[in-house]
Amino acid sequence: MVRVIAQPPTRKPRHHFAEILQQVRPAPKHPTCPHYMHAVLSSHHRFTSLHRLPTRMPTLAIPSSLLLTLRLLAARTFSTSAASGYSTTTVKMARSALDEVTDTGAFDRSPSTFRSSVSSDASARFPAVPGRYHLYVSYACPWASRCLAFLKLKGLDHAIGITAVKPIFERTKETDDHLGWVFPTTTDEEPGAKPDPFNGAKSVRELYEIASPNYAGKPSVPVLWDKQLKTVVNNESSEIIRMFNTEFNDIARNPGLDLYPVQLRASIDDINELVYDAINNGVYKCGFAKKQGPYDEAVTRLYEALDKCEEILGKQRYICDNQLTEADIRLFVTLIRFDEVYAVHFKCNKKLLREYPNLFNYTKDIYQIPGISSTVNMEHIRKHYYGSHPSINPYGIIPAGPNIDYNAPHDRERFGS
């Protein structure tokens, strides 16, 4: 709950933004609430319900990033002073990463909900046949990028279509304040993103509701979609990549590539456990922590894990052996975003990726594997993180750098090809 103090203005209703900020008073016990939120509410005290904020406020020019912040905060329960005669409106909390924070201030990712499997067995409910499935992704999302990488490496892009959403969260419906992944309305609206070609959905949320009309979970990507049954097969990236690795081999262009080989599975599983909790999810734990303690714990574990990976990569070309495996792809999708986003946006700045010689060269090595660079859209990555989390970056300003050239030479050939 957030307590907002709304007071009638003491001046004329029309204020310059700088004048409003001078009248801001933080709400009790919530000193970290955005000050401009209080300012806007103080100036517009007649808006007694925050269920739907107007797109245009007649007495105040509001930047689009600020409006996004207001709508995110409006999706929560706001309480105003009963003594002042203001009303209370309760709105269902938006289901996004911004909401997955516990009372202790720690980030806690919710589990995926669609967990069916595509099978090489022709009699299965979801048989691995060409043209039946479609992968909905965001180029910004590291979890979706795992699936894109497997699709390219296995040579399945001719059999499974891909549609990418717009990078910045937007309203998914006009009837509530949920913000999430949306599709562009035209093919040229957002380079790299396309409209939904099969269902005409305006958002990923609508896809979930087509599959399950009463769906109330988190409408995340990736989504492996069955065009025939019009349903979500699976939205758990770790399971989708395993399906791509083995179940589609009859139609894959690279069926001999095994990214989860039997002889390395124990090692892969161990590395996956370390990398997921401390690195993949660890950067989010740092970025979305709302208290110092959870942040300190997460950032300590993050750099302990990075140090361990740096040590391993000083002895071999890849993270589990001298052969590329699933574990490398799972680590890569976080490393490629580290200096460009996580170091700044998620406060993971104790040490940059570029300061780890083995990890940095390793990242360039994987990026240069045929097919992988096409799964990395740095413009979408930067737009999404800096533009979709106004509680972290309220004005949506995208930093100028560092603009790393991952096609630059690396030294990983010293371990052999």
At 78, is the secondary structure helix, strand, or coil?
strand
- DSSP state, residue 323: S
Q: Are 164 and 379 in contact (CB under 8 A)?
A: no
Q: How far is CA 125 from CA 1, 88, 121, 223, 240, in A?
A: 44, 48, 9, 17, 16
Q: Are 154 and 130 in contact (CB under 8 A)?
A: no
Task: Find how far residue 344's CA is from the centre of its chain.
Answer: 16
User: Is 133 tagged catalytic?
Assistant: no
Q: Which amino acid is at 271?
A: I
Question: Tokens standing for 126?
Answer: 């979801």
Q: Among the options 136, 139, 141, 348, which is catalytic?
A: 141
CA–CA distance, 373 with 379 (Å, rounded to integer): 13
Question: Tokens standing for 45?
Answer: 């005290």
Neighbours of 251 (CB within 10 A): 18
- DSSP state, residue 102: -
- Length of the chain equals 417
User: Is 141 tagged catalytic?
Assistant: yes
At residue 224's C-alpha, the angle toward residues 223 and 229, to 5°, is 115
Q: Among the options 36, 86, 208, 284, which is catalytic?
A: 284
Active site residues: 141, 284
